[in-house]
């Protein structure tokens, strides 16, 4: 007789497989080695993600993986995003330092869900986020009341160039994983302006976000993923099922604004939208570690 835990695990496997088949049905077939190489990003080999994808990702990129160290950053230099619509020289020094030395900053967070979407957020967190250790958007504000811990692993080419970074974020109170993502600079086909490319691995798939950079007149830094057609900046889901890889553009839109408050404390406002409805507001306070 199968134990209850085995039944639950089988149900979870069935749910995950059904989800991948759904994205195959509604998405478009893509070629990650040809026309759609811009969507080639790490996937996880098992249901539980956490940090288990790092070594395989390093192998696929032909890069060396460094352990988390002080001074590691999501980007080698914010100026790597310079292009027709953005110049890092217009961004405050503290913000440039955060991206170049992310591991040297401590993060505190607050969250506020729209009442309409909070039940759905709790359902996704319960069925997927906490279980797989990925994309576990905090639903209860007290969950993040003690702050968020983060580790940054840098991927380097044979010549020592930083080609990407993995940012792993966990709840300080419990150690549970919230996000585990790959960060790098990317260029979409036909778009001259480089963007920030973030990929969150999942079993046989991932969620990816391409974010357009902007510099505010007050030295702030803004990243947006506005609505647009397939191939533009925005959010995508990629799933592999039955040997076929499919992708769909999601109606999710994000806006990050990093800025210095009147007391020169670095803060971030993060809004998540579904179509025209705001789903979630997150606020981060970023303080240099002693």
Tell me the C-alpha distance between 49 and 66, whole Å: 19
| 230 token code pair | 């397939």
- Indicate the number of domains in the chain: 1
User: Considering all CA atoms of the chain, what is the largest pairwise distance in Å, rounded to the nearest integer?
Assistant: 66
Q: Which residue has the tokens 């958007």?
A: 137
Domain of 30, in residue numbers: 4-288
Residue 8 has pLDDT above 60, yes or no: no
Q: Please give the structure tokens belonging to residue 189.
A: 């086909």
pLDDT of amino acid 276: 87
Question: Torsions phi, psi of 183, nearest 5?
Answer: -120, 135
pLDDT digits (tens, 9 = 90+) for 217-236: 999 999 999 989 999 999 99
Give the angle 191-197-199 at the CA atoms, nearest 5°: 140
pLDDT bracket for residue 130 (50, 70, 90):
low
Asked whether 239 and 246 are in contact (CB, 8 A), the reply is: yes
Given a contact cutoff of 8 angstroms between Cβ atoms, the answer to whether 250 and 229 are in contact is no
């Amino acid at each position: 007789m199968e134990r209850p835990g085995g039944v639950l695990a089988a149900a979870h496997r069935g749910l995950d497989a059904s989800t991948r088949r759904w994205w195959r049905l509604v998405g478009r077939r893509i070629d990650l080695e040809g026309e759609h190489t811009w969507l080639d990003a790490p996937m996880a080999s098992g249901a539980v993600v956490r940090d288990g994808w790092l070594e395989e990702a390093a192998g696929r990129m032909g890069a060396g993986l460094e352990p988390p160290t002080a001074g590691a950053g999501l980007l080698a230099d914010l100026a790597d995003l310079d292009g027709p619509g953005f110049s890092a020289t217009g961004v405050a020094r503290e913000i440039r330092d955060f991206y170049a030395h992310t591991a040297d900053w401590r993060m505190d967070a607050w969250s506020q869900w729209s009442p309409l979407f909070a039940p759905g957020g709790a359902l996704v967190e319960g069925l997927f986020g906490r279980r797989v250790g990925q994309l576990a958007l905090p639903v209860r504000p007290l969950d993040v009341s003690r702050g968020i811990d983060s580790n940054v692993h840098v991927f380097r080419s044979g010549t020592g160039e930083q080609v990407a970074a993995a940012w792993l974020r966990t709840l300080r109170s419990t150690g549970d994983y919230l996000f585990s993502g790959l960060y790098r600079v990317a260029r979409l086909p036909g778009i001259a302006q480089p963007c920030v490319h973030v990929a969150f691995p999942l079993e046989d798939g991932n969620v990816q976000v391409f974010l357009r950079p902007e510099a505010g007149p007050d030295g702030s830094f803004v990243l947006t993923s506005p609505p647009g057609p397939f191939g533009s900046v925005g959010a995508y889901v990629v799933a592999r099922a039955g040997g076929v890889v499919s992708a769909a553009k999601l109606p999710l839109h994000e806006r990050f604004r990093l800025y210095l408050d009147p007391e020169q404390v670095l803060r971030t406002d993060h809004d998540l939208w579904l179509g025209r409805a705001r789903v979630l507001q997150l606020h981060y306070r970023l303080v240099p570690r002693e």
